[in-house]
Amino acid sequence: MITEVTVGMYRLVAREVDEQPAWSTTSGHPVVIVTWSEARTFCQAIGGRLPTEAEWEYAARGGREDSIYPWGNQTPDDNTGGANGAAFERDAAQPVKSYGSNGYGLFDMAGNVWEWTEDAGSLYVADDVSDPQGPAAGSFRIVRGGSFGDAPSNLRISNRTPNQPDRINVNVGFRCARDVDR
């Protein structure tokens, strides 16, 4: 998806939607307060799935292999519409597409809300691996991208953090991926 799943998208599919934070005032805000299983179920319902960590990182890089952030190496700026913009060090997420897209036309790959990935938590291996698949089972699931409440250092593409899959947070949402016929 080019954006995080919004409250409006989620309400079209999900039977129940947990009450969203007070700052979530439009259908264009990213949906939060969603467990990993709920995110996964939503993606499956629309013919998709959660991205693996490797897919998420590839998408976040936007074709820029050596970049620190989705837009390049410039320090993040929280001014709406900025090419190196992202919601960070704020009290609230912003509606999706409030900042410029990356090289693949994807919005909010850094900041706004953390995003669930399919992978269970594990340490990276030192070997070079092409499209690594994380473990299928584990106590934690990985979220990527940083959020509106984080410092700029948490917006780095390489940043990852474990999160309990049954935990709901006001700063964790998701986006869906799908397989492409080759």
Per-residue confidence at 137, pLDDT binned at 50, 70, 90?
low
pLDDT category of residue 174 using cuts at 50, 70 and 90: very high
Prediction pTM value: 0.91
Give me the numbers of helices (H) and strands (E) for the chain, helices first please. 3, 4
How high is the pLDDT of residue 63?
95
Per CATH, the number for 1-182 is 3.90.1580.10
Task: Yes or no: say if 171 and 147 are a contact pair by the CB < 8 Å rule.
Answer: yes
Contact by Cβ (8 Å): 111, 145: yes
Nearest to 96 by CA among 106, 86, 108, 80: 108
DSSP H/E element including 8? helix 7-13
CA dihedral sign, ordered 18, 162, 59, 90: positive
DSSP string, 12-76: HH-S--PPPPTT--STTSBP-S--HHHHHHHHHHTT-BPPPHHHHHHHHHTT-TT-SBTTBSSPP
49 φ/ψ angles, rounded to the nearest 5 degrees: -165, 165
Structure tokens at 43: 């993606």
H/E run at residue 161: strand 160-163
Q: Where are the domains of the chain?
A: 1-182
* For the chain, the helix, strand and coil percentages under 3-state DSSP, each to the nearest 5: 15, 15, 70
pLDDT digits (tens, 9 = 90+) for 58-104: 999 999 999 999 999 999 999 888 889 999 999 999 999 999 999 99
